[in-house]
Amino acid sequence: MTAMIGTVRRQVQTAPLFSFWLLVLGIMVIVGLISGIRVLWYGLEVTNLTDRVPWGLWITVDLSAIALGAGAFSLSTVAYIFRVKSFERIARIAVFVGFVGYTSAMLALLMDIGRPDRFWHPVIYWNIHSVLWEITMCVILYSMVLVFELAPAVLESDFVAQRFARGPRLGHFLHQFTPAVSIVGLGLSLLHQSSLGATYGVLVARPVWFKPSLPVMFILSAVAAGSIVTLALTVFYENMIRQRQIETRLRNAVAMFGGLLMMGYLYLKLWDFLATAYYSHVPERVQANNLLETATPYGLTFWWIEIVVGALVPAIIMLTPRLRRQDSWVVVAGLLAIVGVVVNRWNVTLSGLVVPMDWSPGAAELFPVREYVPAMSEWGVAIGVLGYALLMLTLGLRFLPLFPKSHEKGHH
């Protein structure tokens, strides 16, 4: 009796919160829809993008969403390719986070390109010399991998199982191929996650970007942040339903994995700074760095937010047993990691674009520092994409078996 009263009371207490949450998400999605329709109707004119700063907030959203989805391939690689069985328990939610991340990125990208009706062109008209082409192909193929990896979860869900009796069995059947598919996914992910950095790194005329370290820094930060975010989401969910989903040992292992990678990323970042700004003095780069420091918001001070708050603090939380044991710290680490990735992708994009390229042979100051502040419509679309992502996560956690009991039992 007391237990029943407790449940009822809890539902009354939590249900309003849940409905409020759904309401917020609904508003975000509607804001996004209105902005998106405006963009499609009037064209990119409604943005603050210009010929000199042609990429902005939406590219940041893309890059961040894809990076935060990187837990998908890294954790399932550990689970299925290195055959660390315990990781299988968290691999599925990681894949789901990846799916949400990639679809969000595609949504933002669809808004960003001038001809959304031609989004499929790269698939037909190959330019194998283009990093962007390679990314497009990898992202499309990898999304298919994610759908395949996610299919068992959908087939096993109550919703499908009740209507389609053979669903779960089909799910089990598909699940057998997961290790093989993971290998394909690993290859595709390694390629495009780093190529996103290369998108900037290969541009010889942009002194802030042109360096070989960008691809490696992109993939490292993505894998680290992606894993931490997946863990944080899991812990958050455990608190929502008040039931543990993963063992403490797995939690520690994933935390160590994310934390160590984050430290590796910071180490690389330190040397990148030392090598490109401190110990060496390529005139162009020095000039660009000075300009960033004095005339833009993208100077070193800003980078500290990204590095200390967005990377160092989460890494410390993950690596300190006393902190990672506490749920609230893990969730904080996840949120900070998200901040870190978003701010980093924004910084990298904008710092490269606002520094003008001096192509004229004379000495006149022809090219002012470029400025860009996103327009309302850009914020609107970004909010909509975020709303979509949160809604998907909410629904997925609510309706999909994202923490499978254990496939081994059913199979072996």
Partner 1 sequence: MAEEKYLTRREFIAAMAAVGGSIAVAAALSEVDSLRDLIERELALELPDVVREAKGHTVDGTHHWAMLIDLRKCIGCQYCVYACQAVNDVPDDMRWNVYHPEVTDTGIPFHMTRPCLHCNDAPCVSVCPTRATWQRDDGLVVMDYQLCIGCRYCQVACPYDARSFNWQEREGPSGYQPEWGNAEVDRRPRGVAEKCTFCIHRIDRGLAQGLVPGEDRAATPACVNICPVEARVFGDLNDPDSKISRLLKELPTFRLREDLGTEPNVYYVPPEGMAI
Q: Binder to partner 1 among 2, 12, 129, 322 (CB under 8 A)?
A: 129
Residue 244 identity: R
User: Could you say whether residue 283 binds partner 1 (CB under 8 A)?
Assistant: no
Residue spans of beta strands (DSSP E) within 161-248 = none
Q: How far is CA 261 from CA 59, 66, 244, 267, in A?
A: 24, 17, 25, 10
CA-wise closest residue to 228 among 313, 333, 158, 364 = 333
212 binds partner 1 (CB under 8 A): no
**Near partner 1 by CB under 8 A, which window of 224-232, 308-316, 325-333, 355-363?**
355-363
The answer to whether 287 contacts partner 1 (rule: CB under 8 A) is: no
Q: Which is nearer to partner 1, 121 or 169 (CB)?
A: 121
Among 30, 34, 44, 295, binds partner 1 (CB under 8 A): 44
By CB under 8 A, tell whether 243 contacts partner 1.
no
Please report how close the Cβ of residue 121 comes to partner 1 at its closest, in angstroms. Answer: 4
If the CB atoms of residues 330 and 353 are measured against partner 1, the closer one turns out to be: 353
Rounded Cα–Cα distance for residues 310 and 308 (Å): 6
For 56, residues 6+ apart whose C-beta sits below 8 A from its C-beta are: 47, 48, 49, 349, 350, 372, 374, 378
Residues with Cβ within 8 Å of 118's Cβ and at least 6 positions away in sequence, in order, are none
- Scan residues 163-202 and list those touching partner 1 (CB under 8 A): 199, 202
Dihedral over Cα of 17, 18, 19, 20: its sign = positive
Q: Of the candidates 81, 141, 161, 203, which one interacts with partner 1 according to CB under 8 A?
A: 203
Quick note: the x/- pattern for partner 1 over 335-354, rule CB under 8 A, is ------------------x-
Structure tokens at 45: 């004119």
Contacts of 157 (CB under 8 A, 6+ apart): 399, 400, 401
Q: Which is nearer to partner 1, 127 or 176 (CB)?
A: 127
Q: How far is the CB of 133 from partner 1 (least distance, A)?
A: 4
CB burial class (10 A; 0-12, 13-18, 19+) of residue 251?
buried
Answer yes or no whether residue 42 interacts with partner 1 by CB under 8 A.
yes
How many angstroms from the chain centroid is the CA of residue 408? 30
Using rule CB under 8 A, residue 138 touches partner 1: no
Structure tokens at 188: 């595709």
Q: Which residues bind partner 1 (CB under 8 A)?
A: 42-45, 47, 49, 51-52, 54-55, 112-115, 118-119, 121-122, 125-127, 129-133, 136, 199, 202-206, 353, 357, 359-364, 366-367
